[in-house]
Amino acid sequence: MYRGVHLLVDCWGVDRRLCLDDQKFLECMADAATRAGATVISQVRYRFGDDSPPGFAAVCLLDESHISAHTYADRGMVALDIFTCGETDPHRILRILQDELDLGEISVREVGRFELAPPAAAEARGSNT
């Protein structure tokens, strides 16, 4: 068991226009988080292109953790992270995003965060420090 779940989502074949539309992407991230029951605390986005390949980075800070996206417009790629703790299901956030945005072909890796060890194991680790 883990306190949090972190989804690492790689997207290929994403339309170049979406990979450049930082405002739309960030709005969809915040909406998906809210619809999944998360609390949006802050949002920030930054568009690249002058000294780096075109794309953007966007972060939606949640009370439950975060959602971030980094795009590579010329390659049609999006690196999407969805990390939630508590009751918010990151898979639900991803499903909502897929319903709202054409994310192309995706690969999802799930990583458990903050392992909840059985009490005896936690005590044993504490006594070894």
Residue 68 is a catalytic residue? no
- Which residue in 65, 68, 91, 107 is the catalytic one? 65
Residue 28 annotated to the active site? no
User: Is 65 part of the annotated catalytic residue set?
Assistant: yes
Catalytic site residue from 11, 70, 107, 127:
70
The answer to whether 62 and 84 have CB atoms below 8 angstroms apart is yes
Token digits of residue 56: 């953007």
Distance CA 59, CA 4 (A): 18
**Catalytic residue chosen out of the listed positions 85, 91, 107, 127:** 85
Residue/partner pairs of 26-29 with CB below 8 Å, 24 or more apart: 26/58, 26/60, 26/69, 28/97, 28/100, 28/101, 29/58, 29/60, 29/67, 29/69, 29/97
Catalytic residues: 65, 70, 85
